Structure 1
């Protein structure tokens, strides 16, 4: 009956969790082989068929010890086996995910599979590739990495390695560029085989709906500054309203009249102007400086909400980006026509096999299963976590909360205990810094404005007396060592442990419980002592946006809400927020999935043209006399080359136009709900015939061009020139899926509220 507790435990766990029994058995057997393997003078790299066996575990453990000076713990080997089995491994902070991932990547490569280890940024991709390089070399494998500054030659070399580390954005941009190549020799990215995703919850869930964009440069529009000046004169509650969740803004009838008088038009007779006004209003009312973005070096830089860092290369859709720049009275940045795009979810589902690792996977287990068919393997810590997580301290108003935070920091600092304060945005981190300095304390602030100093700040965050005020970035991917990095003995570390370890203070609950858990996880690594507490007030955006109808229980005279219902209310608001974000993710994927399928079908056709003579055969069948005439005068090889370029040009051009058309459809599709129609069904009803027209148009345009082209001359001079410059960026939210940034979704409300005209 020994199996009964295990079965009961699995029944009680969250859906999708993985039974670790078989992994434990393999690791136990590997321990018995360890002494024998350690005695070998030379290690023979394991063969592919042995990957995942006890012998394999013993060999790679010894390889890591010899090359890196690190002997993998049993739990690290279990994490490796969970990854090799195609799961997401949840491993706590400080448990050595990087090494587990490298061992798993080596295992896949030894099986003959090409592995892309996908990271969240260039720094981690390069650090991990270089750090784990000696391990791969000892196993007879090659490793490379790709960053934003990598040249095409460096990228091609990195992709040729057995294991390639890359930031998810760089991998996606290379895929997009390859989709527009006209010469097979120029292709960079090999066929996808295995994706091993670091920080899997962030990449697979938080950023899943983010589209990566390849654009052809164009001139920016001129309407944004005029509209920004107009909406500055509008007042909330009189000229416009914001919905309960703060995700949409729309004009009131009075606001509509004011705008129409200012512009001298009947607004809703000019759909383009409606869009421009709503974009300006969205930028004015819903996007906040030092919360959603910062202004640095004369440019708007978005802030990644789940990491707190500047989102490099990331921007909103062009119209909204221009509206924010106009709001801040900045010169408009480069804009352009979207040539192609792919969501991060679409990028990763190309891989036949996906696995990943993170510290917080169980909370998104249902989404990992729903969107990627992945299960979560919860790997136990090497040493039990002894961190003391206190209940939330809840206050009636924000002033009481901030005073209590300052008092708590001062009291803990007086003992010498290091403190990490996690704030919700840049503005809050700077306000708290001022309050602490007024109290005579000297915190170090880490936020999107000084993210270049992150590594140095985190290295000192565990030192005695350190006060680090940070946004959600907080050094994820880097451990905070007690006593601080650079300590020559263990005395400082012992002292900090005696003081209780690193103390984490959250100044408010995030929309996602995972972000709270990640902040807590900065403390208590590898069995170290530590503590954490979150401060919450009834005025926090989480409660006002997601539980506006639920009042907190009455506070005690000191301003603290101690009734148990207070904690329930906070938890309820967070669950509602998580539900909203999940529905946005689902909605995005519903609208994006059809376009992804259409693009996949078109890419199959494109590959046949690029790598063969499908283009020539198609035009020979469509224009037999012309084909024969050109072959006689220029030669069959020249005609085939020209036919390939003609069909590829029109295929890419028609796809660009298809994307623009479907973006326009998506803009106004929710208005059809007024007629009791399902917007998603209506979108699909538009998309399917539009795609058929796209295929017909490719054939028609290709035939028309082939009838008149001079194959002996440069085709670019005959109307087939491609963009002289292309550039890449990420869009903050998916233009085809996320409802909150669709500025026309509330036009219906404005229309219904307008008074009839005489």
Structure 2
């Protein structure tokens, strides 16, 4: 194994000894002065010599070499803690480093180290901007050693992507890399693939990619109409009344028709029963989708409408999710609700979750500012361990105790007053809100007081880097949805340190403490002073959901403020409950996804054999020797490619049909589960049954096509037999968890949030 030396040198097989890694870093520091005497060529050659054969026997010297090269090429001398982080990454850990501690350099040094041992590395980012920025920023370091580095972004075409993926170090957004995996699974010639095999995924913002969005499916769709919600159903649902015609659960995740609601819908649509066999799989599904869109998905919280199109808001970052859509029926229902043209849904050709995508890599490591809180998920779903890296300079940020209020209205008044007070001193303020509506209402309230505000939300996320970079300027007030500018440094303006540094304010607790800490981490970089403060009300979503079924009494002062250790403990309890709920949702969703992921591996292996060998021709010729004899005059390459095209078409078609069947099952599993059998057990039973004969059906249909379709010097004319692949394909991300991360707006009403 290429990095056995790390396991041996640090005693990491059992103890993951941080003390030992610090010793290696100290040894590296002692060797730095001598190595600086080497010229560039000698320095690079020494690194290659140490990496010869894929193993490095002198880790301290190798680390020192990387450090000297970073100073020469980038003007950056790694801190000892950065060098320690490189060691832990190369070992395969997820490292936790605080904001502003230099994760970009750490990632580049680790990626270069992997590449020097002959491993191709994908540095996984969360968006195009960071992939392109970091690849260009770190290019001199990688190229110093004669290695190639390139970014993969949405704007690249197939040829450019193929060249980029051939590099030793590839920076790319997780969605783009995943979409390329899906597109490569549709090729019929190996030369058409854009990706080259990679050995390591080094994941930036690892908690976001590996945990928050782990179960988000990436989808490749082809041109075929999808399930649409008709205007008539939308009109009927629009007039239903809550509690009389439908109910919503306490977590506002599910909505249910009452008997009275079902009666009204049936009467309006002119049908006997929504639950007849004729309607249960069609009309009832559409009604439920329209009801979900009407009751649970709120404009400017879960989505915005721009230029006549519905754009989803990424719940974990509060930004427009350009490539996301809900499952086709729900997307159409929201479009119909807003009176927009309903977009074509398309047939799903293939899909893969981010979690399954990451598990394709032989090795995964990562870095983030908040990994400890995700330790359980990282271990359970990826068998990854977390290493906490100390700060280079002592933290000077003051984390004030939460200010708790009885009602949302009282809390919001206090937020405005606190921001105004801080602004009057010139101290910069960064406010983290939970949705677009809340951010705009707060900005308006501050504007009424004459306070100039920079707003960063899903409506202007293109300006994110600039707005965040300026957030530490004197007198600046920045209001942002969710996690502002991860990957962009907030540097303090002149004289700001004397005023107390950047003040970070959270308008409510998040559903996990990890997200709270992400926001807190925006202040106090590299020993800067700073302040973090969260406001909470007993009406906040996280308190209502986490405390459902329990009651708590408090004695607020005239302003609504509650100063009580018991209530403070209660708030923490409610947040822990919601964290547990999210983990349970993750675990259940993982169980649904895992079987399909395993089945997908089987299909992938079959595809690989068909593409890379002559197996397709052998199978078809063996089943129909007469037809094979008729084609004997064609050259072998033509015959084999024709057979390959036929076999792959039917294999892909059967897989797409399997996905469609299982999607329908998933939507209605609560109706199909049998007595004394849980929905997940029933889902697995159906999935195994449906998949069992998939390959055989594909071969049988391929054999029929082989016998009937015209095959000549130009190959198999599948189009003549109506067997063309989709004329157009597109990619998107499916947002299954449409309500995760919603803030206070659902409870309090949009119009008077800060009034």
Q: If the length of structure 2 is used for normalisation, what is the TM-score?
A: 0.92
Check conservation: 2:229, 2:329, Cα contact below 8 A: no
Report the CA distance between 1:626 and its aligned residue: 2.1
Matched, 1:665 2:665: yes
d(CA) in 2 for partners of 1:671 and 1:21?
56
Find the partner of 1:404 among 390, 393, 414. Answer: 414
Question: Which aligned runs of 4 or more in structure 1 are off by greater than 4 angstroms?
Answer: none
Check conservation: 2:123, 2:204, Cα contact below 8 A: yes
> SS of 1:303's equivalent?
strand
d(CA) in 1 for partners of 2:459 and 2:182?
30
Check conservation: 1:105, 1:115, Cα contact below 8 A: yes
d(CA) in 1 for partners of 2:478 and 2:467?
8
Find the partner of 1:113 among 102, 112, 119. Answer: 119
Q: Deviations over 1:370-416 (max 9, x none)?
A: 00000000000000111000000000011111111111111111111
Give the corresponding residue for 2:3.
none
> SS of 1:241's equivalent?
strand
Give the corresponding residue for 2:286.
276
Check conservation: 2:226, 2:329, Cα contact below 8 A: no
Matched, 1:386 2:393: no
Question: For the aligned residues, what is the CA RMSD?
Answer: 1.8
d(CA) in 1 for partners of 2:17 and 2:262?
60
Matched, 1:90 2:96: yes
d(CA) in 2 for partners of 1:539 and 1:582?
23
Find the partner of 1:717 among 701, 715, 720. Answer: 720
Report the CA distance between 1:670 and its aligned residue: 2.2
Check conservation: 1:143, 1:161, Cα contact below 8 A: yes
> SS of 2:275's equivalent?
helix
Give the corresponding residue for 2:498.
498
d(CA) in 1 for partners of 2:663 and 2:232?
24
> SS of 1:577's equivalent?
helix
Give the corresponding residue for 1:28.
26
Q: Deviations over 1:442-467 (max 9, x none)?
A: 11111110111112211221111111
Task: Write the mapping of 1:628-707 to structure 2, written as runs, cut at 5 A.
Answer: 628-631=629-632, 633-673=633-673, 675-707=675-707
Report the CA distance between 1:222 and its aligned residue: 5.0
Check conservation: 2:315, 2:740, Cα contact below 8 A: no
d(CA) in 2 for partners of 1:281 and 1:34?
66
Check conservation: 2:228, 2:333, Cα contact below 8 A: no
Check conservation: 1:538, 1:552, Cα contact below 8 A: no
Task: Write the mapping of 1:15-54 to structure 2, written as runs, cut at 5 A.
Answer: 18-42=16-40, 43-45=43-45, 46=47, 47-48=50-51, 49-50=55-56, 53-54=59-60
Give the corresponding residue for 2:513.
513
d(CA) in 2 for partners of 1:739 and 1:431?
21
d(CA) in 2 for partners of 1:222 and 1:104?
48
Matched, 1:604 2:602: no
Unaligned runs of 5+ in 2: 1-13, 742-755
Give the corresponding residue for 1:395.
405
Report the more deviating stretch, 40-49 or 116-125: 40-49
Are the structure 2 counterparts of residues 672 and 336 from structure 1 closer, same or farther at C-alpha, using a change threshold of 3 Å?
closer
Report the CA distance between 1:440 and its aligned residue: 1.9
Give the corresponding residue for 2:729.
726
Report the CA distance between 1:116 and its aligned residue: 0.5
Report the CA distance between 1:332 and its aligned residue: 1.4
Give the corresponding residue for 2:468.
458
Q: Deviations over 1:638-675 (max 9, x none)?
A: 33221111101100000000111111222222234561
d(CA) in 2 for partners of 1:726 and 1:29?
54
Check conservation: 1:462, 1:480, Cα contact below 8 A: yes
Check conservation: 2:220, 2:729, Cα contact below 8 A: yes
> Aligned pairs, how many?
713
Check conservation: 1:550, 1:569, Cα contact below 8 A: no
Check conservation: 2:228, 2:329, Cα contact below 8 A: no
d(CA) in 2 for partners of 1:318 and 1:136?
43
> SS of 2:223's equivalent?
strand
d(CA) in 1 for partners of 2:688 and 2:302?
36
d(CA) in 1 for partners of 2:360 and 2:737?
19
Find the partner of 2:224 among 215, 218, 221. Answer: 218
Give the corresponding residue for 1:371.
381
Report the CA distance between 1:739 and its aligned residue: 12
Give the corresponding residue for 1:357.
367
Report the more deviating stretch, 662-671 or 504-513: 662-671
Matched, 1:569 2:579: no
Q: Deviations over 1:227-261 (max 9, x none)?
A: 22111101111110001111100101111111011
Check conservation: 2:229, 2:290, Cα contact below 8 A: no
Check conservation: 1:224, 1:280, Cα contact below 8 A: no
Report the more deviating stretch, 621-630 or 279-288: 621-630
